[in-house]
A and B are shown apart, each in its own frame.
Chain A
Amino acid sequence: MEIPYTAQPRKDTGLYNAKVGIWLFLASEVMLFGGLFSAYILLRVGATPGTWVHGLLNIPIGTFNTAVLITSSVTVVLSWAALKVGNFGRYRFYQAITILCALGFLGIKSFEYREKFSHYEVWLNQPVTVTRGGQEVQTDRLLGHIEYQGHHPAFWSTKTLAEKQVESFKFTPDPIHYKMTPKEMAHARKTAAGRKAEEFEFKAADVKRLSAFVPGHSTYFALYFTLTALHALHVLGGAVVIFYIWGPGAKMWKTDPERYTNRVEVSGLFWHFVDLVWIFLFPVLYLL
């Protein structure tokens, strides 16, 4: 006996096997990201006021990336529709765009990541005076960039200072801090525009804690990196599958076109799910 319903739908369920499989798989994926989102809610609600990071991500780039993913979702549908009417060439064309969009998305994401790794927060033992929104304020926590022996290092932490026996380093603070409200931040950014930033020279002994914007920086960045990295893995996995079907797996179009079309449909369903996750991630991480 052969396994039935690999290509043809079963009468009473109206589905072929792989479609049942992918829907079940997506249900488990919903629970996976659901678990992470509920962690986000619980941790955010329980956060001490003033410790939740917000407003540090690059919204224009994020928006652009969202557009890239949505485009790919459209081309996935178009390519499947092309295949349904037997137009293999059009399918290949649209699906190529999908794959390029996926790669584009990952490229942009890694650029965003890199930017974060060399951006710092420093917690000081003694407060210093900085100008924020045109006013002098005293603060012991600054965001900004480090310069040490002419370099802008990435991934430094309090431990690095000890390990490298750093005596002092240059620090260029941002005009903002995530303790401020979104409105205050916007105002502070505006007033600081065009003006030369102040510069500090901090001794290692002045520093209570130093952290780049890495997962260990704060709960927010822990969530940001975990969620977006898991999502990026899904994008990568989806792109690999779509590419496999598009390239080496395309022989099946000749031998079993119906099953081939099903494969494209199933991979497309997964792709839509990956997009959908991003549609949730973007506002939660970038805008809220």
Chain B
Amino acid sequence: MQATSPKQSHAGHAEAHHEEPGFWSKYIFSTDHKIIGIQYGLTALTFLLFGFCLMLMMRWQIAHPGQPVPLVGPLLAKVLGGVAAGGVMSADLYNSFGAMHGTIMVFLAVVPLAFGAFGNYVVPLMIGAPDMAFPRVNMASYQAYVVGGIIMFVSFFIPGGAAQAGWTSYSPLATSIPTDGQTFWLVGMIFLITSSLLGAVNFIATIIQLRAPGMTWMRLPFFVWAQFVTGFLLLLAFPPLEAAGLMQLMDKVAGTSFFLPTGLAVGGQLADVSGGGSPLLWQHLFWFLGHPEVYVLILPAMGIVCEVISNNTRKQIWGYKSLVYSSLAIGFLSFIVWAHHMYLTGMGTKISTFFQTTTMIISIPSVIILTCFFISLWGGSIRFNTPMLFALAFLPMFGIGGLTGLPLGFSASDLHLHDTYYVIAHFHYVVAPGTIFALFAGIYYWFPKMTGRLMSEYWGRVHFWGSLIFMNVVFQPMFAQGMAGMIRRMADGGANYSLARVPDAIGGLSDTIMSLHTLILWGGIGLGLVQIPFIINVFWSIKHGRKVTSDNPWDATTLEWQTPTPPPHGNFAAEPTVHRGPYDYSLPGKAKDFTPQNEPDQGGKH
């Protein structure tokens, strides 16, 4: 299949790109999975940085409530007007930034990076396919993502600003805030959901249909399995949120009451609506997506970690089958745990009991996966390069995140911890030093395949150690704050509930707990600074990095390394045939310590 007509999209830019007539169809409207993967990657990294900056400004506000934001304060005041008067972040703006930070990080940064970018670039190569099954659908998926992103971004600048009701957009709050931010959010989400659905259909169909000869299911690299399960999660969990989004949009623009209860009063006045709706319905539909979504965030990360660990321990991954079955189990179970986010809604103890049970059960496969990775390290002669450092750090960081989820999974302890900074710390440990570290590992690992050059090891290490330290400085204190009762989403960081302000308040926040805000702010600034070497490293290495001397610089076994570098359109010169499992490292009796999947046996079995 060919890209969209280069002539049409070319017309307006004929002068600028005379020499390379294929520019638009080659880089912008490409249907090549590798280009689309890179497009996804760059866009998602941009959003990642943007989402991070939002949070940094919020951390300043929490640590120094009511003081103008340094450096960018005047800019905020100029661009956003009243909500940032004098460069001070108002509570409304804080709410907008918070809601959009979550939305951007989850839907515009991490998932597009983990699924859209790595999935697109790597999966077809790994299974020995020439491209995705539906290249034009693939392009449409990226375009829908960009449109959704633009709508979200533009919403900051409309009167009243962006959505303010959190990334979870609970009704009736989300509906009754009188600005249009939520409407933009919903329309943007519909595009993002469409993008995910198109992507999911494409990925699953590709993995089912386009595996090279000999690439049986049990010879698939674990990364492909992880993407496969992720695809199903997106395919089946997102539509109910789309349904919910449509209903909330109706509530917002057509005056319906899907999520508005009878007798709803807004600002002391009875709202002019029919009522009869159910706020709980929104929460059920949201978390029906929301929980599978967290596994969408983590499964591709586990896939990357698996590839990197096996490659750098020069060993078979331990328990390949357990990994596969565990990821499938996670896939199924993640559809029946959602209401553990809703213990405090009064949905009833029977329902709580059910969801506590399933939540405990789902942690078993997660633990199995982590255990397999740990055991895989045993007795390996580990190469400590940058991808491996990030992959290794993923293990304890995800471990902390997962273990701290258990107290949240019991409704008795969740009673105390719900909606506190403890929850924030929990999920950031899984997503930030967890998933994002794995994504960094993936970038350092596959960069040579994409560009033919290696990223700088030295600056990679600076990036790694800095990130590891500052991530923990940022998120570790939040456990303490949460357990001390600090509620999330407060624009003043809890100053109103502090002992400093109300000395005799029972359960007021102590000075120590409040002062952690300052520590976290500096941790956040540090974390931002150590990303600078990374950003420079990425762009500098494209042109100036050390050239790879072979197509397979890491001596890896999987098929993506058995192609030219970078792989041409169509990927493989000839269709590869697969003869073995994905991790045949250090086979006895072989000259090399790795045996690529497409290397035939010379007589007999290995």
Could you say which residues of chain A place their CB within 8 Å of the CB of B272? Answer: 158-159
Within 191-243 of B, Cβ neighbours of A (below 8 Å) are at 197, 200-202, 204-205, 208-210, 235-243
- Check B285 against A35 for contact (C-beta < 8 Å): yes
- Check B209 against A211 for contact (C-beta < 8 Å): no
A67 interfacial contact with B, CB 8 Å: no
| Distance in angstroms between the alpha carbons of A219 and B137 in the assembled complex | 36
Instruction: Mark interface residues in A1-32 (1 if CB within 8 Å of B CB, else 0).
Output: 11111000010010101101100110111011
Within 202-216 of A, Cβ neighbours of B (below 8 Å) are at 211, 214-216
Partner of B255, one of A5, A43, A216: A216
A residues near B (Cβ < 8 Å) are 1-5, 10, 13, 15, 17-18, 20-21, 24-25, 27-29, 31-36, 38-39, 42-43, 46-48, 51, 158-159, 211, 214-219, 222, 225-226, 230
- Check B570 against A35 for contact (C-beta < 8 Å): no
- Check A43 against B258 for contact (C-beta < 8 Å): yes
Could you say which residues of chain B place their CB within 8 Å of the CB of A46? Answer: 278
Could you say which residues of chain B place their CB within 8 Å of the CB of A20? Answer: 133, 204-205, 208-209
Could you say which residues of chain A place their CB within 8 Å of the CB of B137? Answer: 21
| Distance in angstroms between the alpha carbons of A142 and B252 in the assembled complex | 27
User: Mind listing 27 A-B residue pairs with CB under 8 Å?
Assistant: A1-B571, A3-B1, A4-B130, A4-B209, A5-B209, A5-B210, A15-B209, A20-B208, A21-B205, A25-B197, A34-B239, A35-B241, A35-B242, A36-B246, A39-B244, A39-B247, A39-B258, A39-B281, A43-B276, A43-B281, A158-B272, A215-B250, A218-B274, A219-B256, A222-B247, A222-B254, A222-B257
A78 to chain B, nearest CB (A): 28
Could you say which residues of chain B place their CB within 8 Å of the CB of A32? Answer: 239-240, 242-243
B207 to chain A, nearest CB (A): 10
Q: Which 9 A-B pairs have the closest CB atoms?
A: A35-B243, A35-B240, A216-B255, A1-B130, A222-B256, A32-B239, A31-B239, A219-B276, A1-B570
Could you say which residues of chain B place their CB within 8 Å of the CB of A3? Answer: 1, 129-131, 133, 135, 210
Could you say which residues of chain A place their CB within 8 Å of the CB of B457? Answer: none
B277 interfacial contact with A, CB 8 Å: yes
Known: A3-B1, A17-B205. A226 touches B133 (CB 8 A): no
| Distance in angstroms between the alpha carbons of A29 and B571 in the assembled complex | 33
A152 to chain B, nearest CB (A): 22
Q: Which A residue's beta carbon lies closest to that of B245? A: A35
Known: A24-B200, A27-B235. A17 touches B254 (CB 8 A): no
Partner of A226, one of B135, B237, B250, B255: B250
| Distance in angstroms between the alpha carbons of A24 and B209 in the assembled complex | 13
B362 interfacial contact with A, CB 8 Å: no
B46 interfacial contact with A, CB 8 Å: no
- Check A31 against B209 for contact (C-beta < 8 Å): no
| Distance in angstroms between the alpha carbons of A38 and B281 in the assembled complex | 9
Within 555-570 of B, Cβ neighbours of A (below 8 Å) are at 570
Could you say which residues of chain A place their CB within 8 Å of the CB of B276? Answer: 43, 47-48, 51, 218-219
Within 504-543 of B, Cβ neighbours of A (below 8 Å) are at none
B273 interfacial contact with A, CB 8 Å: yes
Question: How many residues on the B side are at the interface (Cβ–Cβ under 8 A)?
Answer: 51
Known: A1-B574, A15-B209, A43-B278; 18 extra A-B contacts, CB below 8 A, are A2-B570, A4-B210, A24-B200, A28-B236, A29-B239, A31-B238, A32-B242, A34-B239, A42-B281, A42-B284, A211-B274, A215-B250, A216-B257, A216-B273, A216-B274, A222-B250, A225-B254, A226-B246
Within 128-165 of B, Cβ neighbours of A (below 8 Å) are at 129-131, 133-135, 137
B340 to chain A, nearest CB (A): 19
B262 interfacial contact with A, CB 8 Å: yes
Could you say which residues of chain A place their CB within 8 Å of the CB of B447? Answer: none
| Distance in angstroms between the alpha carbons of A42 and B210 in the assembled complex | 42
| Distance in angstroms between the alpha carbons of A256 and B571 in the assembled complex | 25
Could you say which residues of chain A place their CB within 8 Å of the CB of B197? Answer: 25, 28
B575 interfacial contact with A, CB 8 Å: yes
- Check A230 against B209 for contact (C-beta < 8 Å): no
Known: A4-B210, A158-B272, A218-B276. A34 touches B256 (CB 8 A): no
Q: Which A residue's beta carbon lies closest to that of B570? A: A1
Could you say which residues of chain B place their CB within 8 Å of the CB of A39? Answer: 243-244, 247, 258, 281, 285
B427 interfacial contact with A, CB 8 Å: no
B5 to chain A, nearest CB (A): 15
| Distance in angstroms between the alpha carbons of A177 and B237 in the assembled complex | 39
| Distance in angstroms between the alpha carbons of A214 and B254 in the assembled complex | 9
- Check B243 against A24 for contact (C-beta < 8 Å): no
B572 interfacial contact with A, CB 8 Å: yes
Q: Which interface residue of A1, A27, A38 has the most chain B CB atoms within 10 A?
A: A1
| Distance in angstroms between the alpha carbons of A3 and B272 in the assembled complex | 57
- Check A34 against B240 for contact (C-beta < 8 Å): yes
Known: A4-B210, A42-B278. A215 touches B255 (CB 8 A): yes
Known: A10-B209, A21-B201, A218-B274. A31 touches B131 (CB 8 A): no
| Distance in angstroms between the alpha carbons of A230 and B255 in the assembled complex | 17
Could you say which residues of chain A place their CB within 8 Å of the CB of B262? Answer: 48
Could you say which residues of chain B place their CB within 8 Å of the CB of A34? Answer: 239-240
Could you say which residues of chain B place their CB within 8 Å of the CB of A159? Answer: 272
| Distance in angstroms between the alpha carbons of A35 and B250 in the assembled complex | 15
| Distance in angstroms between the alpha carbons of A3 and B133 in the assembled complex | 7
Q: Which A residue's beta carbon lies closest to that of B197? A: A28
Could you say which residues of chain B place their CB within 8 Å of the CB of A217? Answer: 274
| Distance in angstroms between the alpha carbons of A21 and B277 in the assembled complex | 36
A28 to chain B, nearest CB (A): 5
- Check A215 against B209 for contact (C-beta < 8 Å): no
- Check B247 against A28 for contact (C-beta < 8 Å): no
| Distance in angstroms between the alpha carbons of A4 and B130 in the assembled complex | 9
B317 to chain A, nearest CB (A): 25
Could you say which residues of chain A place their CB within 8 Å of the CB of B235? Answer: 24, 27-28, 31
Could you say which residues of chain A place their CB within 8 Å of the CB of B273? Answer: 216
Q: Which A residue's beta carbon lies closest to that of B255? A: A216
A273 to chain B, nearest CB (A): 13
Could you say which residues of chain A place their CB within 8 Å of the CB of B238? Answer: 28, 31
Q: Which B residue's beta carbon lies closest to that of A18? A: B134
- Check B575 against A43 for contact (C-beta < 8 Å): no
Q: Which A residue's beta carbon lies closest to that of B216? A: A12
Could you say which residues of chain B place their CB within 8 Å of the CB of A27? Answer: 235-236
Could you say which residues of chain B place their CB within 8 Å of the CB of A1? Answer: 130, 570-572, 574-575
Partner of B246, one of A17, A31, A214, A230: A230
Partner of B209, one of A17, A42, A51, A214: A17
Could you say which residues of chain A place their CB within 8 Å of the CB of B256? Answer: 215-216, 219, 222, 226
Instruction: Mark interface residues in B103-134 (1 if CB within 8 Å of A CB, else 0).
Output: 00000000000000000000000000111011
Could you say which residues of chain A place their CB within 8 Å of the CB of B246? Answer: 36, 226, 230
Q: Which B residue's beta carbon lies closest to that of A45? A: B278
A160 to chain B, nearest CB (A): 12
